[in-house]
Structure formats: structure tokens, C-alpha cells
Structure 1
Amino acid sequence: FQGIIPRIIHDIFNHIYNMNENLEFHIKVSYFEIYRDKIGDLLDISKTHLPVHEDQNGVPYVKGATERFVSTPEEVFDVIDEGKANRHVAATNMNEHSSRSHSVFMITVTQENLETQKKLHGKLYLVDLAGSEKVSKTGAEGSVLDEAKKHKQVLIHSGKRDQRTS
């Protein structure tokens, strides 16, 4: 079985491979994490305090995040592996590599019609929320316990916000 992310990546590329020859596609990806209320670039660990801005349409984006152009699913998976190696993790009783951060993998697809030069842009955000295991089962202590409490608060507030907006 494949997880959701590999299936999405393969679907995107299969769709592109089957498109009209008059269309050209460019795909770029970014990968960052939110750890202790700071945004860090998982593809360039020297970028640890990236700011969030809004574009002209009011859509938020992370300014300064590394963008990599990719042309095959394998290249995307290589970028994901690179970023995963840079994530904040800690061992708990339930998971040897429990995520201590939320991560966002962003895929930007640009389609250009070579006859009309018209361009379309799309972005897909794939979000991995940090571990929310039951604290009593994890054996978490100290800073790992503090992080788990913070993650639970974020999930509770997100759930309440989602209920209000639906």
C-alpha cells in the first residue's frame, strides 16, 4: 500500500503526462515546519525564522522558503526524504521518531499554454500535524511533554474553529 502523499504525487504527474502537447508544466516544491511557534525551512536548516506574508489576493505564504523545481515523482520523493531528515523528532514509548513539529509540504504547479501563453497556477499544501498521542501512554517528560500539551491545544482550537466555520 502507498500512503496518501505518494499517491497524490503520482496522480499529479500521471495527469501531466497525459495532457495536451501544447501545454507545458513546471512544478516546484517547498517543505517547512512549525516548531515552537517558529517556521523553519526543512530544505535549508539555516532558515529558522521564516515570516508569513499575504499576497495581493490575501492568501498567506511563507516568505523565503526554499523552492525546488522537480520533474519526476522520484525527485519529489528525494526532496521529501531530505526534509524529513531535518524535522524535529523525539522518542516516546509509542513512537521512536515522534514528530515534534507540524510540517507543510507545498507543491506549486504552473501550466502554460504554448499557443496562447496563458498561464494557470495551483498550489497544494500537504500538512502533517505533530504527534497527538495520549500523553499517559507516551511516557513523555520535560520538553517533550510540554510540546505534546501544546500540540493538543492547537488541535482542540483548530477543531473548534473548524466547527464554527462549517
Structure 2
Amino acid sequence: MVGDRDRRNPGIIPRTFTKIFEIIHDNESKFEFKVSAYMLELYNDRLQDLFVSPAEAFSKRIEIKRDRKGLVFAQGAETKEAASAGELFALFEQGCANRHIAATKMNVESSRSHLIIGIMIESRNLTNGSVSFGKLSLVDLAGSERASKTGAKDDQLKEANSINKSLSALGDVISALSMEQPHVPYRNNKLTQLMQDSLGGNAKTLMFLNISPSDCNLDETLTSLIYATRVKAITNNAQRNIDSKEIAQLKEVILKLKSGQPVEEDV
């Protein structure tokens, strides 16, 4: 997801940052863009804000909410704007420095949490004033763990149990979606609640799998491939989220009124 340290071979996340602003640059004569992001980790069943210090993150309460259009947002989390790919990557590096990692027998730098980056993009058509908006979720899932292989004990064992529990919940959601069941158990875990607008409904979902070529990891490799096969069975009808010029203006007025700002009479 990240790539190497010197960025000679960037991973999906930095490549995505670059591509977003390449598209913005190519269309800036027709649209006005606003890009903002939040960055969270799910650690031991608790959502923590990575844009603040670990001490502050521990004391903050983050709640998962949905707006009327089904867009999921993290109430209480810091949201920061970025004007370039470089600014977005700097925010990402800041957040990564606060993420929980540890060494195990399987990995020198093992992720002890799931990483969720939400990138909100709003564009205003300079010709007709209509506003389009969407969210891109970049999720770096910690790998499922077997204590017998990782040597996890005490706190690491607790972390592993939490990781496996949330991955199991995600698997249940994927199964329900792929089999088109009437009830999808999003609420069984905070990970699936936070990913609800990225799985099913008006969303396009991509999963990239990192598997091992070693014979000793054959069981994990097969399990991961089966997991990904179920994801591939999910089919959605993604649509654009767009507001007319009038609706966009009304929303702007409401925001100003809520914040106590003056509103022009001709708006």
C-alpha cells in the first residue's frame, strides 16, 4: 500500500495521491476543486485519530455517522485540506508516525491496526455551478494472524484477536453482499461500519491481495485468495453524487447560518 521508504517504487496510496491531483490539474479550467482527508486506525476495537498526538487521540471520542445520502463520516476526527499531492502525502506521513506497529516473528514492522484514510473531493462546475462530490477510502488491512507463527503474547495477542475479529466481520459483510442477502451485518464491527459506503450500494470496491510464495504460508495464501474471490463476486451500480447550482447555494447558506456568518440577501 505504501511502497519503499525512498519512494522509488511507490505503493497504491502515494500513487493515488498523485493521480488525484493530476486529474484536478487537467480539469482546473472547468472545475474548482476542494480536497480534504481524515486518517484513522482501528486499534483494539477503538478508532483513533492519527492526525493528532497519541495522547490526544486516546482521549478523543470518534463516532461513526452517516448523512442522508449514506456517506459515512467520522464525527470528532480531524479533517485537513490539501492543495497538492505533496501536502496530502505529508499529512499521510504525519499520521503513519502515530500508527501502532511492532515486531513479530513474521514481520519486523507488523501493523497492529487497520488503517483507514478517507479522501473527500468536491468539485464545482464553473459553467453551471453544479457541485459533485465523492469519497475515496484507502484501507490498509492488517493481516490475519496465528499466534503459533507470530509468537504473539500478552498485548500483541490481544491486538491479534482484535484484528482477526474485525477481518471475520468484514468477511461476513462480503459474503452477504456477494450472495445478495437482504441483511448485511455492517454494524457487527467498527471496521465494517466505517467501510459501509465503500462496500455495496453506490460504490466501486477494489481489493488488492498481498500473498506469500513460501510453502510454509500456503494455508494463509489459500485463505486470502478465497477471501478475494468472494469480494470479486460483489457487483454494484456506482453513480455520481451531484447537486444543482441552487441546492449547492442553499447548502452554503445553511453552513454560514450554522457558523454565525452573515448571508447575502440575493443568495
What TM-score does the superposition give when structure 1 sets the normalisation length? 0.91
Choose from 89, 100, 103 the match for 1:77. Answer: 89
- Counterpart position of 1:6: 14
Of 129, 132, 144, 2:156 maps to 144
SS in 1 for 2:172: helix
Q: Following the alignment from structure 1 to structure 2, what is the Cα–Cα distance between the partners of residues 98 and 19?
A: 40
Matches within 5 A, 1:103-122: 103-122=115-134
Q: Is the 8 A contact 2:41 2:114 kept in 1?
A: yes
- In proportion to residue count, which structure has more strand? 1
Pairwise mapping of residues 7-156 of structure 1 onto structure 2 (< 5 A)?
Answer: 7-19=15-27, 21-45=29-53, 46-47=56-57, 48-156=60-168
Question: What is the identity, as a one-letter code, of the residue corresponding to 2:151?
Answer: G
Distance 1:143 1:162 in 2: 29
Question: What RMSD, in angstroms, separates the aligned Cα atoms of the two structures?
Answer: 1.6
Percent identity over the alignment?
A: 37
Give the gaps of 5 or more residues in structure 2. Answer: 1-8, 179-267
The structure whose residues are more often helix, as a share, is: 2
CA shift, 1:96, in A, is 2.6
CA–CA separation in structure 2 for the residues paired with 1:64 and 1:10: 28
Q: How far does residue 141 in structure 1 lie from its aligned partner after superposition? A: 0.8
- Name the CA distance, whole Å, in 2 between partners of 1:109 and 1:27: 5
Asked if 1 retains the 8 angstrom alpha-carbon contact of 2:105 and 2:151, the reply is: yes
1:90 and 1:164 map into 2 onto residues whose CA distance is 33
Number of equivalenced pairs:
166
- Give 1:73's aligned amino acid: A
Displacement, 1:8? 1.4
- Inter-partner Cα distance in structure 2 for 1:86 and 1:63: 20
**Aligned twin of 2:260:** none
Q: Deviations over 1:57-101 (max 9, x none)?
A: 233321021111111111111111000000112221222321111
Secondary structure of 2:27's counterpart equals coil
| CA distance, structure 1, for counterparts of residue 76 and residue 127 of structure 2 | 33
- Structure 1 residue 127: Cα displacement: 0.7
Paired position in structure 1 for 2:210: none
2:137 partner letter: Y
1:105 is paired with a residue whose SS is strand
Question: 1:71/1:118 Cα in 2 relative to 1: closer, same or farther (>3 Å)?
Answer: same
Indicate if the aligned counterparts of 2:45 and 2:162 stay in contact, CA closer than 8 A: no
Greater radius of gyration (CA)? 2
Considering Cα pairs closer than 8 Å and 6+ residues apart, tell me whether 1 or 2 has the greater RCO. 1
Q: Which runs of 5+ in 1 are unaligned?
A: none
